Amino acid sequence: MRRLLHVVSLAVVLSGIWWLLSGYAVLFILGLGAGSILLVLFICHRMDTIDHETHPIHLAPAIVTYYPWLIWEIVLANWDVAKAIVKNDSSLRPRLMQVKSTQKSEVGRVTYANSITLTPGTVTLNADGDSFLVHSLTQGSKEGLETGEMDRRVSALELGKDGHRATSQPAAGETDI
């Protein structure tokens, strides 16, 4: 039953994305879209790739609060990096740092690493178990990672709950480059 739920959910997501990108409501075009979606679903079913990790519908309620927060963090980091570049001040301090993650699943760790990379001024260079090698461009981006806020929010997202999970702050060591 859960597998059917994942298949139906994937079909709805693919249909929505296809319709948003095509923008057509002509019967022939809609038929081609439906055929394409059915073909993709068939291939995914045969490859046995539709599961809770590739299509994590259990995260949907928590994503509603996580994405707006992440978008806001991206805006703030954008402003921080742009301000440092325009001012040409000493806040541009590139460095490498180790960041620990508290996520328990591969999906959680990938989400955390991608969230770090999406935020301007930081890039996840390497992931080794629960430790990430991160390049930070500014002092603000370094401090943002050291607070552990993103790690806590991704851990809460991983659990499929709103709010924060009580975790210790991630250990972060730094190396100037």
Mean pLDDT by 10 residues, the chain (177 residues): 79 88 86 92 85 67 86 93 83 88 89 93 92 90 87 85 39 50
Which pLDDT belongs to residue 141? Answer: 85
Give a yes or no: residue 54 inside a domain: no
For residues 132 and 163, membership in a common domain is answered with: yes
In a domain, 53, yes or no: no
Q: What is the pLDDT of residue 6?
A: 79
Structurally, the chain folds into a number of domains equal to 2
Residue 166: the pLDDT is 33
Supply the pTM of this predicted model.
Answer: 0.68
- pLDDT at res. 151: 92
pLDDT at 123: 94
Considering the domain architecture, whether residues 76 and 24 belong to the same structural domain is answered as no
The reply to whether 42 and 129 lie within a common domain is no
- Do 43 and 110 fall within a single domain? no
Range of the structural domain that residue 143 is part of: 59-176
User: 159 is written with which tokens?
Assistant: 């659990």
Q: Same domain for 123 and 70?
A: yes
